[in-house]
Structures are given as C-alpha cells and as structure tokens.
C-alpha cells in the first residue's frame, strides 16, 4: 500500500472516530474561567442545562427547546453532530455606560445538532447564558420556546408580577411593579412575571434571571413550573390585529393574536437566556452580563450621542413661579427651562406631552413656537428632546424624524409602548435605526426592560421599565424599599429612567399623593444619592426649576454628577435594605449610599481611590431628617486612599459625595 493510501486510510479512521464520538457524546461540562461555575449540558432525550457554583447546585436539570409550527421540536431527541469549546478574553469599549471598558472573559460551548440548529452556551465568572441558532432556509414560525429555570428548593425571591393590564388584555402593561418578596411556591396562580427577577438560593448567593439581545422576537415572561421550585417561560403570541385603546386611548393593543409567538428568518441567532450569580449582593451592582451579550454598536460615528442630565416638565406639571408670564405648555415656559438648564450646566430639556397633536407630530400646539425654543436652546448650548407616543411614531417617523432633526431637535421621548410581542420589539429596533440615521437620540418610556438595544444602537439613551418617581403623584407605596431593590434587579438589565431629583422630601407619616408639585418619600440626601446609584445616561431632573433655584446648594451638587462614567466600584449593600457604590469620571469620584425605612450606620472603605489626598464634598442626612426629609447637612472635608469612613443614614435616607484630588 502506498504512503498516500496509508495517509488516506488514517484520515478516514480519525474522521470516523471523531464523528462517532461526537454522535455518542451526550453529556458536556464547561467551567467558568475562574473554575467556580460549572455548566452541565445533557443531550439525551431532551436538551437540559444545569449549573453549580463552588459545589452548590444552583439550577437542577432544566429543559430548553424551540417548538416549530411544523411540529418539530429543536432540542427533543437531539443528535449532536459536533461540539466546540472556545476560550475568550477580550475587552468591550462601552458607550455612555457605567464604565468605559468592560472585560469580556468567558468559556463557550457550541453544540451543532442534526436538523440545522445549534445551541451556544457561555460561562462567565458571574453568569451563565445560552441561545439557540438555526440555519434553515426561508422563514421559520416559532410555535413556542421552552426555557426553564429549576432550583433546588422553595427559595425566597423578588418577583415583579404583571398587574396593570392595558386595555384589559394580557401581555399589555407598563412593566412597572413593586416586587413580591415571596417563596417560589407562593407565586400567584395564573399570573405572569416579567424579567429581571431575583432568587435567593442560600449561602448568601443571589441569582438574577435575564434575557439579552432580544431582537425581532417576543420578550420572555415566566410563571411557576410544575415543580414549584422554579420558572418556565411564557411569550406574547404574535399580534395579527390591533387597535387604539388602553390608557387615554394611547396604547395600540392587539385584539387578535396567532397561535405562535414569532415568524422570523430561518437562519438567525435567538435571544440569550441568562442567569447572573453573586456571592455578595453588592456584586450585582457592577454586573455587565446584558451589555456583554448584546450585539455590538451598528452606529459608526457616535460622537453626536452625548449622555447628560435633562430638565423634565411633566412631574411638577410645569409649575413655576416668580415669573411674569403664565406657566404652561408655551414658548415662554420652555425658554425659562432652557435658561435654568444653561445656568446650571444641564445638557437637555424635555418637552413632554402637549407640544403637538398627539396623532400628528407635524401639527404643533399654536401656543408653542418649537423652532424658537430650539433656537434659544442652541444659543444656550441646551438640546431639546420632545415627547411622542409610540403609535404615532410608527406611523410618522419617516417624515417626522428628518423634519425635526433639520429643525435642530436632539431626540424623542417615545411613550406608551406597553408591549413586548415580536412586533413591538422589532419596532424598537426599527425606530432606533431610523432615529440614528437622522442623528436623533431616543428615550423609551412605557416600555419593557432593556436587553442590550442600548449597546446595539447607542442613540437609545434612556429606558424606563421601572416603577419610577412619577408614582408619587398618585400612589402611596413603599418606594424607599423599592429603590434599594432595583439596583440589584431591574438595573441588571441596563439603564433605568427612574426620574430622580424630587426636593419636597417627607417621611411616611407626612406623605400624601399630590399631582402638582408632588411629594417624595425619603430624604433629600437620598434623592441626591440616586443620581450616583441609578444608571441613567439620560438622567431626569424631575422637579420644577423654581424649586431647584430655591435650593441652589443641593442643585449645584446634583447637576455636577455625570450621567455616564469611566468606572464603577460596588461598596456595600443588601437587596431590599441598602446600597452603596462609587463611580469615577475623569479624576473625580462620586459616591452614593441609600437605605430603606430602616436607619443604619455603615462604614465605607475608600481603598478604591488611587494613592493620594482628596477633598470630599458630602451631603448627608440632617439630624432631624427622620422628621423633616428636607433636612440635610453639607460638609467639605479631606479624605485619603484607604481611609474608612463611618456614615449614618436616616430612615429613607441617603449619603452622597463628590471627591476631587487635591492639588
């Protein structure tokens, strides 16, 4: 036998052996780069994943599958044709984020299966994620997707339950809810929860359920699975017909839905399903998993996209005083807002509902000269962002975006989406792209949680999907507990426009809902700390400019806090109890600490500071802040790297500081 024939025979033997081993291999293990997390994938009769952390079982075997309309189930009786492991160590350059650079280190397992589909698994040091991929011709109709998260016990969890059914229809809501702090088995029957949610798995460990890179696909809800120790996915069916209705007739609500959840390209990657794992609650304050899993930016030139603070007219009902004109939705009022913004270094103003015909963005309220307002803003270096509701944007963006971009408008605040079916999700990407093509920024309100769109289209500068400060206008709720829960849960998904900055601060006993010039629970220092703790590249100053002028000392501190940062350092915290973190911008550091209704003493470790001496400007709760929430104390002192500083937080209180290196 010739050498060539021997070589060919050897190759065939190796190839056949490899193929047989691939077909026989039905169990796969993958560890995180630090070796602490182990992912186990079973490809027997069903595809299942399970996860352990330092020997503690986090997820027990949990099924994953894609069910197609033709009856086939991707993940049932899987036949793995080949597998591949990759080790990635990269860095992501972030845009308008809580840090400038994101270390992106993970191990990846790719399973390709017979039937032109595959699953990609990733294991990070603090998270595990997977997604389906398909390579099929033509269009796919997805009947359902099965994503399950099975835990070992009836753990306690923080779960946002859907409650405000817009137009009385399921799968239509504002995606705003306080957390049900319950055991898994207490999940309300026939209810849905939206993501993110948190599960306390014991041994001080917390697990947060997330999804990422949600493009052209419905968002994931969950309800209780059959074991009552975990969750199974639920999705809004594909909308076939819709009509205006719901809140103020501003929702576009599906009235007829298909018996499938999505119709999409046959060759594509599906959204990531992820869990983040922390050994200390504070670690969740600095987790980047959604940002890492999102598709990279599709905008080449991002120089025109600038994070910043903005005034907001709606929360205080445009109530201003000590002026010689009638305040309202008119030119004089918004010039006043611009003058205030310019004097205080605020980059934007928002003109909320009422500046245009709600159904026709090209018909402007005659009491308001938008071009004059925009031009006044240009002279003062203040950008103007205008409000619109989603349905009108979908009908008119091709005309409205170039028209208002030419006028000089900087962006749109788009509201009342209140859906996350496939059509709504795709629409947000389409709007972001069309806005980017016209160099317009977008602030989404009345919207589901972010899933990475803000990385893919960085002109998406704001995202609600949180039960924000606006609720004080009509509701008496335990927001001080909520505001020290969302940094560990909702904020894991990405930026959240909570709309901080209320200066009429009261304790629980003195609170009552007021529509004009609302009150806010908690202390003044708590509100200032929110500007550091909450991630919001488009950060609202919710209160009236007149109120801020009367409280110039606090206003000066608040408006010097950046809206995006170079670095984030978690300092201390416990979900639902308190949170403390530091953020850096340039050579300056900003520290914020917040508590629920429990007064507490903390010790902050300033070893995150580079070696040297610093001047620190502190706003802390005043001695009577428990009785009068506006009571605060300003101090200017010195601090050095490595110093430990005791601080006191009043009930509903806060502590905020700006730290500058001394010359």
Active-site residue numbers? 415, 470
Choose among 403, 358, 400, 349: nearest CA to 378: 349
Bridge partners (DSSP) of residue 617 are 636, 658
Gap between the Cα atoms of 551 and 558, Å rounded: 11
* CA dihedral sign, ordered 521, 463, 158, 39: negative
Task: Determine the straight-line distance between the first and last CA of the chain, rounded to whole angstroms.
Answer: 83
CA distances from 596 to 213, 429, 578 (A): 33, 37, 6
Bridge partners (DSSP) of residue 118 are 112, 133
Phi-psi domain of 343 (left: phi exceeds 0; alpha: psi -120 through 50; beta: other)? alpha
b/e map of 440-461 (b: 16 or more CB within 10 Å)?
bbbbbbbbbbbbbbbbbbbbbb
Q: Are 616 and 638 in contact (CB under 8 A)?
A: yes
Determine the 3-state secondary structure of 637 from DSSP: strand
Cis upstream peptide for 602 (omega within 30°) = no
3-state helix/strand/coil string of 522-563: CCHHHHHHHHHHCCCCEEEECCCHHHHHHCHHHHHHHHCCCC
Q: Are 487 and 462 in contact (CB under 8 A)?
A: no
Contacting residues for 641 by C-beta, under 8 A, at least 6 apart: 606, 607, 609, 610, 611, 612, 614
Determine phi and psi for 636, rounding to 5 degrees.
-120, 120
Gap between the Cα atoms of 410 and 124, Å rounded: 38
CA distances from 410 to 307, 347, 459, 635 (A): 12, 11, 10, 37
**Angle CA 151–153–155, to nearest 5:** 90
Contacting residues for 637 by C-beta, under 8 A, at least 6 apart: 615, 616, 618
Determine the 3-state secondary structure of 86 from DSSP: strand
E-assigned strand segments in 596-631 = 600-605, 613-621
Q: Are 610 and 573 in contact (CB under 8 A)?
A: no
**Crossing angle for the helix pair 524-533 and 552-559, to the nearest 10 degrees:** 10
Gap between the Cα atoms of 541 and 216, Å rounded: 33
Neighbours of 307 (CB within 10 A): 22
Choose among 480, 507, 494, 506: nearest CA to 577: 480
Determine the 3-state secondary structure of 297 from DSSP: coil
Bridge partners (DSSP) of residue 645 are 604
Choose among 342, 341, 310, 381: nearest CA to 536: 310
Phi-psi domain of 558 (left: phi exceeds 0; alpha: psi -120 through 50; beta: other)? alpha
Query: Exposed, middle or buried: residue 474 (CB in 10 Å: 0-12, 13-18, 19+)?
Result: exposed
């Amino acid at each position: 036998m010739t050498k060539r024939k021997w070589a060919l025979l050897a190759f065939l033997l190796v190839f056949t052996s490899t193929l047989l081993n691939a077909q026989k291999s039905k169990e796969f293990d993958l560890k995180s780069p630090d070796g602490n997390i182990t992912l186990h994938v079973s490809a027997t009769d069903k595809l299942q994943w399970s996860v352990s952390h330092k020997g503690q079982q986090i997820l027990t075997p949990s099924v994953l599958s894609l069910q197609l309309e033709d009856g086939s189930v991707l993940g049932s009786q899987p036949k793995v044709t080949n597998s591949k492991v990759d080790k990635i160590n990269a860095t992501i350059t972030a845009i308008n984020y809580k840090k400038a650079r994101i270390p992106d280190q993970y191990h990846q397992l790719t399973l390709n299966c017979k039937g032109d589909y595959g699953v990609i698994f990733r294991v990070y040091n603090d998270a595990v994620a997977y997604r389906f991929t398909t390579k099929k011709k033509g269009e796919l109709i997805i009947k359902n997707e099965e994503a399950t998260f099975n835990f070992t016990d009836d753990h306690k969890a923080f779960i946002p339950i859907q409650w405000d059914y817009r137009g009385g229809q399921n799968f239509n809501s504002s995606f705003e809810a306080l957390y049900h702090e319950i055991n898994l088995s207490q999940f309300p029957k026939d209810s849905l929860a939206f993501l993110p949610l948190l599960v306390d798995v014991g041994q001080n460990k917390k697990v947060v359920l997330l999804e990422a890179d949600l493009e052209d696909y419905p968002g994931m809800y969950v309800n209780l699975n059959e074991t009552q120790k975990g969750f199974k996915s639920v999705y809004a069916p594909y909308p076939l017909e819709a009509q205006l209705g719901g809140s103020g007739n501003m929702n576009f609500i599906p009235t007829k839905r298909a018996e499938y959840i999505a119709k999409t390209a046959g060759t594509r990657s599906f959204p990531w399903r992820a869990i983040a794992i922390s050994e200390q609650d504070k670690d969740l304050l600095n987790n980047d998993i959604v940002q890492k899993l999102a598709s990279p930016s599709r905008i080449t030139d991002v120089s025109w996209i600038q994070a910043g603070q903005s005034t907001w007219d709606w929360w205080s009902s445009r109530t201003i005083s000590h002026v010689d004109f009638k305040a309202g939705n008119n030119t004089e009022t918004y010039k006043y807002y611009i003058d205030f913004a310019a004097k205080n270094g605020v980059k934007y103003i928002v003109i909320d509902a009422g500046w245009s015909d709600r159904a026709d963005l090209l018909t402007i309220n005659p009491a308001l000269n938008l071009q004059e307002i925009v031009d006044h803003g240009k002279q003062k270096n203040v950008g103007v962002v205008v409000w619109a509701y989603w349905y009108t944007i979908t009908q008119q963006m091709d005309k409205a975006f170039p028209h208002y971009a030419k006028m000089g408008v900087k962006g749109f605040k788009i509201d009342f989406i209140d859906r996350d079916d496939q059509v709504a999700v795709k629409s947000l990407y389409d709007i972001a792209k069309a806005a980017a093509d016209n160099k317009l920024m977008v602030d989404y309100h009345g919207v589901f949680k972010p899933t990475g769109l803000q990385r893919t289209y960085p002109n998406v500068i704001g995202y609600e999907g949180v039960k924000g400060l606006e609720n004080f206008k009509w509701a008496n709720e335990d927001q001080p507990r909520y505001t020290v829960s969302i940094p560990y849960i909702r904020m894991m998904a990405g930026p959240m426009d909570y709309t901080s900055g209320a200066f009429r601060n009261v304790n629980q006993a003195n609170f009552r809902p007021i529509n004009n010039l609302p009150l806010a629970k908690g202390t003044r220092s708590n509100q200032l700390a929110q500007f550091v703790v909450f991630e919001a590249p488009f950060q609202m100053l919710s209160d009236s400019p007149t109120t801020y002028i009367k409280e110039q000392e606090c206003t000066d501190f608040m408006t010097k806090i950046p809206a995006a940062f170079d670095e984030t350092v978690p300092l201390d915290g416990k979900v639902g109890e308190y949170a403390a973190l530091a953020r850096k911008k340039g050579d300056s550091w900003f520290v914020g600490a917040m508590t629920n209704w429990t007064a507490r003493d903390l010790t902050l470790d300033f070893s995150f500071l580079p070696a040297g001496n610093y001047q620190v400007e502190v706003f802390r709760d005043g001695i009577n802040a428990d009785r009068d929430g506006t009571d605060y104390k300003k101090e200017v002192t010195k601090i050095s790297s490595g110093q430990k500083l005791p601080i006191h937080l009043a009930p509903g209180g806060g502590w905020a500081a700006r730290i500058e290196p001394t010359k």
